[in-house]
Amino acid sequence: LAYLVEAADDICYRIIDVEDAFRLQQLGFDEVRDLLLPLTGEPDRAQRKMRHITRSKEKIEYLRAKAIGAIIDQVHQCFMDNEAAILAGGFAAELLDAIPAAEAMRALKACGETQVYVSKPVVEVEAAGFEVLGGLLEAFVTTVNDLAARGPAASPKSRMLIHLIPESFAGPGRNPDPDLYRRVLAITDFVSGMTDSYAVALFKKLTGISLPTG
- The CA distance from 82 to 85, in Å, is 5
Q: Are residues 23 and 61 in the same domain?
A: yes
Tell me how many domains the chain contains.
2
Q: Are residues 51 and 87 in the same domain?
A: yes
- The CA distance from 81 to 76, in Å, is 9
Has residue 211 got a pLDDT over 70? no
Instruction: Note whether 178 and 151 are within 8 A (CB).
Output: no
Burial of 151 (0-12, 13-18, 19+ CB in 10 A): exposed
Has residue 125 got a pLDDT over 60? yes
pLDDT band per the 50, 70, 90 thresholds, residue 2: confident
Q: Are residues 125 and 113 in the same domain?
A: no
Find, among 1, 4, 66, the residue nearest to 33 by Cα: 66
Q: What is the overall mean pLDDT for the chain?
A: 90
CATH number, residue 13: 1.10.3410.10
| Domain assignment of residue 214, yes or no | no
Q: Are residues 44 and 59 in the same domain?
A: yes
pLDDT band per the 50, 70, 90 thresholds, residue 130: confident
Q: Are residues 72 and 155 in the same domain?
A: no
- Find all residues with CB under 8 Å of 23, minimum gap 6, and list them: 57
Q: Which amino acid does the sequence have at 139?
A: A
Instruction: Note whether 203 and 137 are within 8 A (CB).
Output: no
pLDDT tens for 8-38 read 888 988 999 899 889 888 899 999 999 999 9
φ, ψ dihedrals at 159, nearest 5°: -65, -25
pLDDT tens for 150-159 read 999 999 999 9
pLDDT score recorded for residue 35: 95
Q: Are residues 16 and 101 in the same domain?
A: yes
Q: Are residues 136 and 76 in the same domain?
A: no
Q: Which amino acid does the sequence have at 115?
A: Q
Q: Are residues 113 and 126 in the same domain?
A: no
Burial of 108 (0-12, 13-18, 19+ CB in 10 A): buried
| Domain assignment of residue 19, yes or no | yes
Q: Which domain holds residue 83?
A: 2-118
pTM: 0.61
